[in-house]
Amino acid sequence: MKRHLRFKFFLILAVVLICIYGVIGLPTSKAQLVTNWRKNIHLGLDLRGGSYLVVQVQQQDAFNAQAGVLTDRLKELLQKQNVTYSEAYVDEAKSLQDAMKAAIVVKGVPATQAGTFRGIVSDNLSQWILTPLNATDYRLTLRPSDALKTWQDVLTDTKNTLDRKINALGLSEATVQQRREDRDSELLVQLPDVDDPARIKQILQTTAKLELYDVKGGPYATREEALAQNGGVLPIGTKLIGTADINGKSGGIYLVSSTPVVRGPDIRDARAQQGQLPGRWDTGFVLSQDAARRFSTYTGSHIGQRLAILLDNKVLEAPVINGQISDSGVIEGAATQQEAADLALNLKAGSLPAGLVYEQEETVGPSLGADSIRDGFFAGIAGVLAVIVAMLIYYKRSGINATLALVLNALILIACLSYFDAVLTLPGIAGIILTIGMAVDSNVLIFERIREELRAGKAIVPAVDAGFSKAFLTIIDTHITTIVSCAILFLFGSGPVKGFAVTLVIGLAANVFTAVFVSKVIFDWELSGPKPVRALSI
């Protein structure tokens, strides 16, 4: 009996020590204790302040763009092989749901050239399914397996780009995750300690697709004028691009080569720099070695011609090439240093493959976070103290027993959160407070049972044993019922509800240990002393 008790005592001691180590580590000074505590207890965004964003990746942009590039290529191939057609265009996907339905439509291919046309498509666009609409018209759609791959690629690509932007912003603890595993298109962005979410949202959302094109003509006032000036048909390998609005006025339309000279990924570095005019800021960029070689050859052979700088498919400016440029360029026109720096950051991070729409934002300012920690802490302490005082009054010395179990329960709970790297959120604090309620309930159930047994005339030791064993069944039933509902919350609930469920389950599991096992050991230890106990203080 005694040896059993000693073994149980050491087991409890070991648990206590492991828990204390998990919470504060092995501090040698008071400062280190605080650092360890901060390192081990991860606070959620709602407590430390920060932003939680849900972005929807507009997949249809990427699918339409992909179809667009291939339409241009198909047109060139058809012209090369002298296959005539009346029109070829992208039947664009209008919404996210229809993204995979983006199609290429080719009309007016003579029946006599059908064989050549099919040959070109199957040789060059093998990922696309060709469906004849009638004798002369065709529709190309992406194979489902390839469409799924594109979908996933767009998500991964977006996630990686956002990661680079976040790193460039110096937000080391921020994370980007896919929201659910299955076929949705949402990313979760968590930004702890951010005090300027509006600017960061803007940066994350900027597509930042930079391209430099050879200008073939323009600017024209309208699309019609551009066509008329070029004999009604666009020359092979060219396209029309509009200009970015400046002060609400469009700068016209340019005719540019269909493939860019320099593309976003060719940029090696970018930074904000003082503009030529005082008080103005520019964004300078440097090209990678490979691109620099290409660019240098190109600029050398095109002196006196114009070069269009496109950002997000809009011409920003179309300066004349004055001499050979090797590896650097400048984008002018930023209003502030911040704007120029943000553009530089976006250029370095690379462009997003598709647009982003914010579906949800939760921003907690640092002052609210600090207040919530204080309030939550204060409410917790007040609640626990009230309970402890009530227990001590009601159960006298056995109340100490219950208090020890309660404190140990809280310690185990916090240690588990630390060991599991779980995040403590406001609903989590609520879960802890509820755990305290359940822990109290277990103690009350046991003590009331012991009292009943004593009242029924049993001796102290059998009464304590009977009290514990009879209450045990009830405790198991109540705990499992709550754990069942927590499991459902965890599986099907979202963010805050999950945090609540996790802390509650850990707390309940700890409670079975403390209220049933630890409390019993303390009773046994009290009752096994050399002097027989005449009356139990309960």
Residues 394-433 that bind another protein (CB under 8 A): 394-396, 426-427, 429-430, 433
Match 């907690």 to its residue by tokens: 364
Give the integer Cα–Cα distance in Å for 440 and 13. Answer: 22
**Does residue 252 interact with another protein by CB under 8 A?**
no
**Nearest distance in Å: CB 428, another protein:** 10
**Does residue 367 interact with another protein by CB under 8 A?**
yes
From the list 397, 488, 528, 533, which residue makes contact with another protein (rule: CB under 8 A)? 488
Q: 371, 56 in Cβ contact below 8 A?
A: no
Measured from the CB atom, is 75 or 520 closer to another protein? Answer: 520
Measured from the CB atom, is 164 or 451 closer to another protein? Answer: 451
Q: 54, 494 in Cβ contact below 8 A?
A: no
- Choose the binding region for another protein from 146-154, 260-268, 279-287, 450-458 (rule: CB under 8 A): 450-458
The count of other CB atoms within 10 Å of the CB of residue 175 is 13
Which 323-352 positions form the footprint of another protein (CB under 8 A)? 338
**Nearest distance in Å: CB 103, another protein:** 23
β-sheet bridge partners, residue 306 = 320
- Choose the binding region for another protein from 260-268, 276-284, 313-321, 482-490 (rule: CB under 8 A): 482-490
Measured from the CB atom, is 364 or 512 closer to another protein? Answer: 364
Measured from the CB atom, is 74 or 426 closer to another protein? Answer: 426
**Does residue 492 interact with another protein by CB under 8 A?**
yes
Which 187-246 positions form the footprint of another protein (CB under 8 A)? 195-198
Is residue 311 helix, strand or coil? Answer: strand
Which is it for strands 267-274 and 281-287: parallel, antiparallel or unpaired? antiparallel
**Does residue 390 interact with another protein by CB under 8 A?**
yes
Q: 206, 168 in Cβ contact below 8 A?
A: no
Match 């050879």 to its residue by tokens: 214
Write phi, then psi, for 134 (nearest 5 degrees): -155, -160
**Does residue 496 interact with another protein by CB under 8 A?**
yes
Which 44-63 positions form the footprint of another protein (CB under 8 A)? 46, 49, 54
The H or E element containing residue 52 is: strand 50-58
From the list 26, 31, 473, 535, which residue makes contact with another protein (rule: CB under 8 A)? 473
From the list 289, 358, 397, 537, which residue makes contact with another protein (rule: CB under 8 A)? 358
- Choose the binding region for another protein from 76-84, 243-251, 299-307, 449-457 (rule: CB under 8 A): 449-457
Structure tokens at 340: 């120029």
**Nearest distance in Å: CB 387, another protein:** 5
> Read out DSSP for 320-373?
BP-S---SEEEEEEESSHHHHHHHHHHHHH---SSEEEEEEEEEE-HHHHHHHH
Give the integer Cα–Cα distance in Å for 287 and 268. Answer: 5
Q: 537, 398 in Cβ contact below 8 A?
A: yes
- Choose the binding region for another protein from 11-19, 321-329, 343-351, 435-443 (rule: CB under 8 A): 435-443
**Does residue 440 interact with another protein by CB under 8 A?**
yes
**Does residue 274 interact with another protein by CB under 8 A?**
no
**Does residue 484 interact with another protein by CB under 8 A?**
yes
Helices (H), 169-288: 197-205, 223-229
Measured from the CB atom, is 140 or 410 closer to another protein? Answer: 410
Letters for 501-520 (x = contact with another protein by CB under 8 A, - = none) are ---x----------------
- Choose the binding region for another protein from 7-15, 26-34, 120-128, 492-500 (rule: CB under 8 A): 492-500
- The residues near 192 (Cβ < 8 Å, ≥ 6 apart) are 45, 48, 49, 50, 171, 173, 174
Write phi, then psi, for 235 (nearest 5 degrees): -60, 155
**Nearest distance in Å: CB 426, another protein:** 6
Which 60-99 positions form the footprint of another protein (CB under 8 A)? none
Give the integer Cα–Cα distance in Å for 180 and 224. Answer: 46
Taking each helix axis as running N to C, give the angle between helix 460-492 and helix 519-527, from 0 to 180 degrees, rounded to the nearest 10. Answer: 170
Q: 46, 369 in Cβ contact below 8 A?
A: yes
Measured from the CB atom, is 256 or 406 closer to another protein? Answer: 406
**Does residue 357 interact with another protein by CB under 8 A?**
yes
Write phi, then psi, for 276 (nearest 5 degrees): -70, -40
Which 368-387 positions form the footprint of another protein (CB under 8 A)? 368, 370-372, 374-376, 378-380, 382-384, 386-387
**Does residue 38 interact with another protein by CB under 8 A?**
no
